Amino acid sequence: METVELNNPKELIEACLRGDRMAQYRLYQQYARAMLNISYRFVQNREDAEDVLQEAFTDAFRRLAGFRYESTFGAWLKRIVINRSINHLRKKKADLKFFDDMHVFANKAEEVVDVTGLSPEKVKQAMKDLPSGSRMIFSLYLLEGYDHNEIAEILDISVSNSKTQYMRARQRVKEILTQSGYEN
């Protein structure tokens, strides 16, 4: 098999489709760390996140012929990792219950928060104290950039439930950060 210096994702993908194992390894190396971090934010366990990562790459390589370059490979793979992470949590029967007091947040407008001096690490640490369902929505919305319609579809919940859970999680994260010394 010919070995070609592959510098961009499209060349790597095309080489993978031809069965080039080195190209698969390079593609894995290029994306594994970021995808592991995404999975870990959901499953909250390193070993489980590594399992999810392996399953996601296996799935991605199996479905690679269907990749249409309508988005970046990273965005496509990220979606697979997120879906695999959610499925992993469902299989483990994680407590994905959501808050019942949705009416408290139903008509509140989102406030602008001053985040001067606030690091992503502090927010991620505070997120660990959230219930798993709320943490998932918070992560999908804030960290992964999904909108509430997409989150509702992914998690099979209502859009208003997604919005409410996000606002509740955001409020709880703010409380945790305030208790740990962050003042805005």
Can you give the pLDDT at residue 76?
95
- Identify the structural domains of the chain with CATH numbers, from first to last: 9-91 (1.10.1740.10), 102-179 (1.10.10.10)
pLDDT confidence of residue 136 = 86
CA 149 to chain centre: 16
pLDDT string in tens for the chain (184-residue length): 444 556 678 899 999 999 999 999 999 999 999 999 999 988 889 999 999 999 999 999 999 999 999 999 999 999 999 999 988 988 876 445 555 454 544 454 544 444 455 677 787 788 888 888 888 888 888 888 888 988 888 888 889 988 988 998 888 888 888 887 765 4
pTM for the full predicted model: 0.69
> Taking CA 162 as the corner, what is the angle to CA 160 and CA 164, rounded to the nearest 5 degrees?
65
